[in-house]
Each structure stands twice: as structure tokens, then as C-alpha cells.
Structure 1
């Protein structure tokens, strides 16, 4: 668990550094990417796991 947190922080810092070196305003890009992910990616992930749960519950009946 601790290793995953450290790797996540490292990836975020590397992304921030790369964006700054490329001249991209990271204070604008990162919140927009997070917002886009929450709006479009997470609902599909939730739907996938909901369907798996439903199939699992039906299989046990």
C-alpha cells in the first residue's frame, strides 16, 4: 500500500515537471483532465462493476 502511494506521488510529480518543461500551464490542464475523467471514464467503470455484481448475484441464486 505504501509503495503504491509513493509511486502515485512520483507519477504526479513527473507529470507536473514534464508539463512545466513543455511550457503547458499545469494548473489549468490537470484539473481539466481530472474533471473529464470523473465525467466520462468513472461512470463506465462504475457501470462495468455494477453489471459484474448483478451477474454474480444472479449466478448464486
Structure 2
């Protein structure tokens, strides 16, 4: 799945057919490693992919 404009955990969990709580923990771990960023928008935590930028930095 490609995340381009950011997706809330609830929507990602629905699209991936996984438990929302599990996914939130997994995304938090990815955020700690720098692969995704999150932003609180209203009641939702929206995640944005940072993998492309991180990969480009590692190549240089």
C-alpha cells in the first residue's frame, strides 16, 4: 500500500484488515526508526511515509 497524503490509523487498519491497536504500535515503532512521521489532526493520528527520503539519505 502506498501512503502519499497521510492516512489515519483507523483507515489504514481497515484497508489492511488488521487490528487498529496492533497497527498503532507498529506505526509508532516505525516512527521511532524514522520511516514514518505522524501528525495529530483532530482526534486522529495521521501517518506519513518517510521511507523514500530516508532511503535517499542513506544512498548519498
| Structure-1-length-normalised TM-score | 0.32
Determine which structure has the larger strand proportion and give its number. 2
Higher relative contact order at CA 8 Å, sep ≥6: structure 1 or structure 2? 2
Larger Rg over CA atoms:
1
